[in-house]
Amino acid sequence: MRAETGILSAAETAFLTRQRVARLATADADGSPHAIPVCFAYDCQTLYIALDEKPKDVPVTRLKRVRNILENPRVTLVADRYSEDWDSLAYVMVRGRARLAEPGTEEHTAAVRLLRGKYHQYERMRIQDSPVISIRPERVASWGTLESPNGAAEPLLDALRGRRSVRRYLDHEVPGEAIEKVVEAARWAPSPHGTQPWRFAIVTKRATKERLADAMGEEWRRNLEMDGQDVAVVEKRLEGSRARLLDSPALLLLCLYPGDLQSYPDPERQHNETTMAVQSLGAAAQNALVAAYEQGLDAGWMCAPLFCPEEVAASLGLDPRLIPHALLTLGYAAGDPPKRRPHRPVDDLVVYRD
């Protein structure tokens, strides 16, 4: 449907109706600005914003945005789309005049219906009892790719594109709930026969990190020396790896737990069963990495435990049936520009289509 005001183009209208959040800027009589994120609905003529945040018994006219509108009806609303793919960035900015649509009016009833249609959360909120902000657009400006390639925001793909390996962190603690959410995401990974053959160890204490670093350092030293590396180089690399562990605010050790895997009489099927378990550990790791990224955390993958699983398990006092495979470091990136190979385009990766 085209905006009847003739102000917004079809693409701008489509963009606005799809966006779930916008920023509403108001100003008081002196022009002092105020901006807040808002949920909104657009009926192709008017923008509507519910007043749902007022504490009980406080008139909505006490809200700053409402006071501003009553003093100065000129407002600006910006709806924008951020994407890790910067070709998909876009915004629509609408300037207009705002007023309050009062309960009991036809406009208010229609606005409440529109808002509840867009946000199911409003179905259980008494937004029908409060006025609704009604904004008539007068001018519009837009920028970027309003039509995203798939016609909608792609939050998952965004997170997948945005995640990258981080190896240096700020000295900030990672909240326990954030780590729990990372594990929560990991546990939803697919696994052979649904066996979920993984267990996770969370390490945040410095003394425990030191024990882990000692356990892995010894094995790495042996490997580097076996490779005939110069003593000074070996020391430097070991020191770097140890610092990386100790300076990571949190560590998540991913262990394989083969106890629940199916048993087969022939070694080949048994081997494949284990391969599947390792594949699923990779899936759990990716779930964890993406969940971390989604929460504003960064993460890195260290394969070191794979080379000395028994020592790692012993250093944490874990059940010896667990096989440590990988360590995820978690924290907030310390401006570590990742050097990584460009990602191959889909056509380079798909080797067969029929």
The binding site for ligand FMN (CB under 6 A) comprises 164-165, 167, 300-304, 338, 340
Residue 182 C-alpha from the chain's centroid: 11
* 182 three-state secondary structure: helix
User: In angstroms, rounded to a whole number, what is the distance separating the alpha carbons of residues 112 and 49?
Assistant: 9
In the complex, minimum distance from the CB of residue 166 to ligand FMN, in angstroms, rounded to a whole number? 8
Nearer to ligand FMN, 177 or 218 (CB): 218
> Distances from the Cα of 300 to the Cαs of 25, 245, 253, in angstroms?
39, 11, 12
SS3 of 286-305: HHHHHHHHHCCCEEEEECHH
Nearer to ligand FMN, 95 or 161 (CB): 161
CB 329 within 8 A of CB 172: no
Amino acid at 302: M
Nearer to ligand FMN, 213 or 302 (CB): 302
In the complex, minimum distance from the CB of residue 94 to ligand FMN, in angstroms, rounded to a whole number? 38
In the complex, minimum distance from the CB of residue 326 to ligand FMN, in angstroms, rounded to a whole number? 6
Nearer to ligand FMN, 340 or 344 (CB): 340
Nearer to ligand FMN, 56 or 341 (CB): 341
Residues paired with residue 333 on neighbouring β-strands, in sequence order: 169
HSE, side-chain direction, 13 A CA sphere, residue 327? 27
In the complex, minimum distance from the CB of residue 164 to ligand FMN, in angstroms, rounded to a whole number? 3
In the complex, minimum distance from the CB of residue 150 to ligand FMN, in angstroms, rounded to a whole number? 23
In the complex, minimum distance from the CB of residue 111 to ligand FMN, in angstroms, rounded to a whole number? 46
Handedness of CA 145, 150, 152, 154 (dihedral sign): negative
Nearer to ligand FMN, 117 or 162 (CB): 162
